[in-house]
Amino acid sequence: MDIEKIKQELTRCLGCKVMPCAKACPLGVSPHDFIAAAKTGGYKEAAALIAAKNPLPQTCGLVCPDMFCQKACIRNRIDSAIEIPCMQAEMMKKGGLPELILPEPNGKKAAVIGSGPAGLGAVFELITHGWLVDLYEKSKTLGGAVRLIPEYRLPKSVLDTEIARLTENNRVTVHLNSAITDFDSLKTRYDGIILAMGEPLPHSLGIKGEEHCISYKDYLSNPENYIHPKICVCGGGEVALDCALTAASQNAEVEMFVRRRREDMRIMARDQKELDEKGITVRALTSITEINKTGNACCLAAVTNEITPEGKAIRCEGTECTLEGYDLVIQALGSYFPKENIPAGFILAGDMTGETGTVVQALASGKAAARKLISPEQ
């Protein structure tokens, strides 16, 4: 967003007193306030207002969907909403990430298991209330699933800088390559424990030949290992979008299989436009029923769906077809944490609660989990 576009968006803000944008933000960030600061050239003040409530402020500006503050913007009733997430990212870029000022330690210490956005949200809330934190991460880097977001959407330098602000201080001790299996053994060592371990298991297609797929996590972790001429992506959400656009950037012919209507895809309007611009075929109302592989080529059996009056996608009889010539099939339906494997008696945050689906929601969940430790009576 260039400076002229920023000025244009700033002038479009009506400064409405009811501030629906702030009420819609899961973290309570007020676009009304940071835009008001930026209107007078106070980009540093604007950035400080955002970072006071959002542990990953520029990250969220870059990846937040339009379903929160932007959807609530009153300008929707006039012409179009202010591009608030983009504005937030620009305010952070221009104003800079402020130093994190921490209070004196209060003598309490917590363990946070998992360093995705929920875990980082919990860390932020705890250390800004005087707690010490041991942060445990099973992999070799911090960030969790946010690290799977492609570079073109979220530069790793932005994420690394924001994570460093939260963890490179004398209040947080980071334990990498530290998968925790015996949670009960931690209880005697800490005043509180928060589990924020994300969703480790990919959702299954539940079809014959699924073993010929790779998961979106494997693909997005190392897309350079999967360069092929023709790629199929199963799914219609943000991870499927990331897979499709990444494959297209490597000059693959890409087809997305979406069991519901195109307008039901859990992506933004600008993402839909980008799919078209990149020449990606979206096979809406289509489900893959079987995958067969001969040599290096995959053949797909598929069926057409219809939407019932109740909003369910069901298969239309007699619409079976066969599609050939795919070099790679990516399963991108999202993931989950098995409920039966969640240890009892701990505070949960993020995807483990089953109530989050975006970075900003996970951050808010982590902060809420921390507040349960800070003020257990509430």
Spell out the SS3 assignment of 245-265. Answer: HHHHHCCCEEEEEECCCHHHC
Measure the CA–CA gap between 2 and 322, rounded to whole angstroms: 47
Give 7's Cβ-side CA count (13 Å radius).
4
Q: What's CA 256's distance to the chain center, in Å?
A: 20
The pTM assigned to this predicted structure is 0.95
- Evaluate whether 289 touches 320 at the Cβ level (below 8 Å): yes
Measure the CA–CA gap between 6 and 378, rounded to whole angstroms: 41
**Long-range CB contacts for residues 76-80, cutoff 8 Å, separation at least 24:** none
**pLDDT tens track of the chain, all 378 residues?**
888 888 899 999 999 999 999 999 999 999 999 999 999 989 999 999 999 999 999 999 999 999 999 999 999 999 999 999 999 999 999 999 999 999 999 999 999 999 999 999 999 999 999 999 999 999 999 999 999 999 999 999 999 999 999 999 999 999 999 999 999 999 999 999 999 999 999 999 999 999 999 999 999 999 999 999 999 999 999 999 999 999 999 999 999 999 999 999 999 989 999 999 999 999 999 999 999 999 999 999 999 999 999 999 999 999 999 999 999 999 999 999 999 999 999 999 999 999 999 999 999 999 999 999 999 876
User: Within 10 Å of residue 115's Cβ, how many Cβ atoms?
Assistant: 30
